[in-house]
A and B are shown apart, each in its own frame.
Chain A
Amino acid sequence: MESGDLTHGRGKLASWWRENALAIGLIFPAIAVLTVIIILPALNLFWISFNNYSPGIGSDFVGLGNYTSLIRDTGFQAAALRNVAYVVGVVLLQLLTGMGIALLLDNALPLRTLWTICLIAPFAVSPIVAVVSWKYLLDPSFGLVNYLITRLGLPPVPWFNGPATSMAGVVIVAVWKGFSFIAIILFAALRAIPSELKEAARIDGATPLQVFRYVKFPLILPALSIVALFEIIHAVREFDIIQTMTGGGPGTSTELFSNYLYRQAFGNFYFGLGASVGWIMLVVTVVLASPVIWRTYQRMFSLETAGR
């Protein structure tokens, strides 16, 4: 290679650098944090999941050992099945309450701003504060909920006494914390529907139910499927509410993937076993989210005319 080519190549590199330095400099901090805090640890997690690893004690390569012990562990099987049921139950209830409330708000109402603020409030509440509020209401001996139930002539519910009542408490808090986000987004989607469309349907004699079925629902479906997906992903990783409300108990009867992972890793110091749960959660999440990941990626650069 002639030395002229070399300097020419260097010149190209230098001019490429000059052209791209600003972009690189501006995205570098974010990408650096993502790499150090998420991407490298996620790869390391994959490696740890093939080892019997306890920090400070040692590490042995065990191949798929952690995954096979997971599959054989009845505690993990139960947590996995419970997590599936939890995702279906919680997300359905969240969607029903969220959509119902969005439809209520989409009416001519006095003081609508005030009602909107009230209905957004749970979004601001931390999981732990939600758990404090609801645990006080649900307390089996002095709680307001049981008082109201007995006033209706029904037997009091022994909240947190067994697996079913504990899980019910968790589901109530999860639905209460999650419906706001859905209601807000669907309310915005409903308001974006041109009012002529609804008017036209009404003039043609459509009942409110038909207006919903044939006009509103199809038009909010894209937003609905996205929020549903976000809530599903969130329900797969649920940790805080269960950890602070039941601690995964009684026994391990309300544990989901995350609580099982936490107990194995930070209770028993089985980091390898915990890592295999983490890796399973990651794969499940990415598979479930792949439609949104792909759609967002395609849209991001399809707007060649952005800002023009």
Chain B
Amino acid sequence: MSAYLRQRAVLFFLLALAVIWAIFPIAFMLGSSFKPSGMIWAYPPAFVASPTLDNYRQISVLHPEFWGNILNSLLVTSVTTVLTVAMALGSAFVFSRVRRRWLHVPAFTMILVRMFPPIIIIIPLFPVFNDLGILDTPIPLVLGGIAFSVSAATLLLKTFVDDVPIALEEAAMIDGCSHLGAFIRITVPVLKPATAAIALVVAIATWNEYLFPLVFTSADARTAPVTIAIALDNEDGVSWGAVMAMAAIHLLPPLTLVALLHKQLVNVMSAGAVKG
């Protein structure tokens, strides 16, 4: 029995280490964002004693553009996510339910293009977006976001559509639905958990995107990650309080959603690796 206990003790020790490794960096950052300014540079490092919102107020003083950047992030993320999921549902329906030889071409295109590094498009598209006058608007961010999410979202959703018996749709078609109507009314509701998790993955990728806003925006359409990066790169010394407050605000939405949807997320991500 003592061997068993020793084994459990080692297990819990390692688990504690793993959990600390995973969440301590963000927990410490979140906690430090409430430190009064004197404590931020304290050595030995201090943990929050008297929490204050000073750092959050400092954002409006040092980086007043940040609140607009967060709104831009929200706008780009929601539009990109909705459009990507809608396109992916339509394409997944086709790839799962329609059998036509020519569909191999768009399917292979998606499988191939999913692997392309996003950085390759900034050189050819920068002059094009400039000529079109859409630099520093949300349009390049939304288009780039969709382009680099829709293939993976489609391929992933298709594996979930495949698992839904087509007989359910056929029953609805006998009652007079078109095939697409039957898909929307019968299959899409069944796919809700998988769709929500895939939407979350797309939303996180877009919300966290740094490269496209760095290249394609300069002020009005800038999103939060670029502003935080600029604040962190201040050569006259980093205003850690404001930087951590901005980082905390940027972190909270995806962290909350991942905690809420963790089950579906694990399910969808492992489906991607095992079935995709």
Contact = CB atoms under 8 A, between A and B. Distances in A.
Interface of A: 20, 22-23, 26-27, 29-31, 33-34, 36-42, 44-45, 48, 55, 97, 100-101, 104, 107, 109, 113, 115-137, 141-144, 147, 176, 180-181, 184-185, 187-189, 192, 222-223, 226-227, 230, 233, 236-237, 239-240, 243-244, 247, 258, 261-262, 265-266, 271, 274-275, 278-279, 281-282, 285-286, 289, 292-293, 296-297, 299-301, 303-304, 306-308
B18 A119 contact: yes
A121 B255 contact: yes
Contacts of B98: 22-23
Of B88, B93, B269, which is in contact with the most chain A CB atoms at under 10 Å from its CB? B269
Interface in B84-117: 87-88, 90-91, 93-100, 102-104, 106-113, 115-117
Contact of A223 (B97, B244, B262, B273): B273
Contacts of A266: 122, 215
Interface residues of B, number: 108
Nearest to A29: B87
A123 B161 CA distance: 26
Nearest to B169: A307
Contacts, number: 309
Contacts of B195: none
Given A133-B247, A293-B111, A41 B26 contact: no
A283 to B, nearest CB: 11
A299 B127 CA distance: 39
Of B25, B154, B274, which is in contact with the most chain A CB atoms at under 10 Å from its CB? B25
A22 B28 contact: no
Of A30, A37, A97, which is in contact with the most chain B CB atoms at under 10 Å from its CB? A30
Give the secondary structure class of B's interface. Answer: helix
Give the secondary structure class of A's interface. Answer: helix
A143 B175 CA distance: 68
Contact of B210 (A132, A187, A223, A240): A240
14 contacts: A26-B180, A34-B147, A118-B19, A127-B210, A131-B232, A136-B244, A185-B274, A189-B273, A226-B273, A286-B116, A297-B111, A300-B107, A300-B158, A307-B161
B119 interface: yes
Interface of B: 11, 14-15, 18-19, 21-23, 25-26, 28-29, 32, 41-45, 87-88, 90-91, 93-100, 102-104, 106-113, 115-128, 130, 143-144, 146-148, 150-151, 154-155, 158, 161-167, 179-180, 204, 207-208, 210-211, 214-215, 225, 228-229, 232-233, 240, 243-244, 247, 250-251, 254-255, 257-259, 262, 265-267, 269-270, 273-276
Of B120, B126, B146, which is in contact with the most chain A CB atoms at under 10 Å from its CB? B120
B25 A135 contact: no
B254 A42 contact: no
Contacts of A42: 116, 120-121, 124
A307 B166 contact: yes
Given A275-B123, A300-B95, A27 B32 contact: no
Contact of A258 (B28, B119, B150): B119
B74 to A, nearest CB: 14
B266 A137 contact: no
Contacts of B95: 27, 300
